[in-house]
A = this chain, B = another copy of it.
Amino acid sequence: MQSRATTPRTGRPRSAAADAAILQATRAALVELGWSKLTLGDVATRAGVAKTTLYRRWAGKNELVVDAVAVLFDELELPDRGSLAADIEGVVLQFAALLNRPETATALMAVVAESTRDEPLRERIRTSIVDRQKRLVVEGRARATARGELPPESDPEVAARTADLIFDVVAGAVVHRTLVSGEPADEEWVRAFTQVLLLGLTATPPTP
């Protein structure tokens, strides 16, 4: 049994430096050119790498860009700000700042568009990008439950569904606000959004 089925044990190893150079060149090209005008030949030239090398590692533009952008989502953190409301506001602002970077916004929307007709690509997006964000939701809920701000969830299946719902609402709202509506997710907006979300999760229905 070998450590990785896809990695041969013999022959010249793949250059890790080339990998890093290609991904960085991809991000730079995204900033300058955007999605549609980005060409793999250009990326190869920027990275100081032959075009054939690029095609040996990635099947096409989609896969390359997903990998190039995925690491940016690792920057998201969940600093403990003392209350659930403050935590949500903090992570939403971080996410909004990430979407303000031109390479992130363009790349994310473009690959999602392509993924509607490409199931493997969708799976790649899910594992490389979506799941890295979703952990923040789970973490935040656990922290709030420990604080006593949220009632403890007994049924794990219900908890998972609720986490998915929160995740889609938060990420979707920020993306739609910044990219579709084209208006900034500034502090004022984030405060109003957080209030609605928090109320929706914790409040008791008004008694008539």
Where the two chains meet, the residues of A that have a C-beta atom closer than 8 Å to any C-beta of B are 34-36, 102, 105-110, 112-117, 122, 125-126, 130, 161-162, 164-165, 167-169, 171-177, 179-183, 189, 192-193, 195-206
Tell me whether B165 and A181 are in contact (CB under 8 A). Answer: no
- Counting chain B CB atoms within 10 Å of each CB, the highest count among A116, A130, A183 belongs to A116
Given B36, B114, B125, which contacts A114 in the complex, CB threshold below 8 Å?
B36
- Chain B residue contacts of A167, Cβ below 8 A: 181
Tell me whether A35 and B114 are in contact (CB under 8 A). Answer: yes
- Chain B residue contacts of A173, Cβ below 8 A: 168-169, 172-173
How many copies the complex holds: the figure is 2
Given B109, B189, B196, which contacts A197 in the complex, CB threshold below 8 Å?
B196
Nearest chain B CB to A160 CB, angstrom units? 12
Instruction: Write the chain B residue with the least CB distance to A164.
Output: B181
- Contact status of A171 and B165, CB under 8 A, knowing A106-B116, A114-B35, A200-B198: no
Tell me whether A199 and B192 are in contact (CB under 8 A). Answer: no
- Chain B residue contacts of A180, Cβ below 8 A: 112, 125, 130, 168, 171-172
Given B162, B176, B181, B205, which contacts A203 in the complex, CB threshold below 8 Å?
B205
- Chain B residue contacts of A172, Cβ below 8 A: 169, 171-177, 180
Tell me whether B165 and A193 are in contact (CB under 8 A). Answer: yes
Nearest chain B CB to A203 CB, angstrom units? 3
The 5 closest A-B pairs by CB, nearest first: A172-B176, A200-B200, A172-B172, A203-B203, A109-B113
Tell me whether B102 and A117 are in contact (CB under 8 A). Answer: yes
- Counting chain B CB atoms within 10 Å of each CB, the highest count among A126, A130, A168, A177 belongs to A168
The 29 listed contacts between A and B (C-beta, < 8 Å) are A34-B117, A36-B114, A108-B113, A109-B109, A109-B110, A109-B112, A109-B113, A112-B113, A112-B179, A115-B182, A126-B182, A130-B180, A130-B181, A161-B192, A164-B181, A164-B183, A165-B192, A167-B181, A168-B181, A169-B172, A169-B193, A171-B176, A171-B180, A172-B173, A176-B176, A199-B199, A200-B203, A203-B204, A204-B206
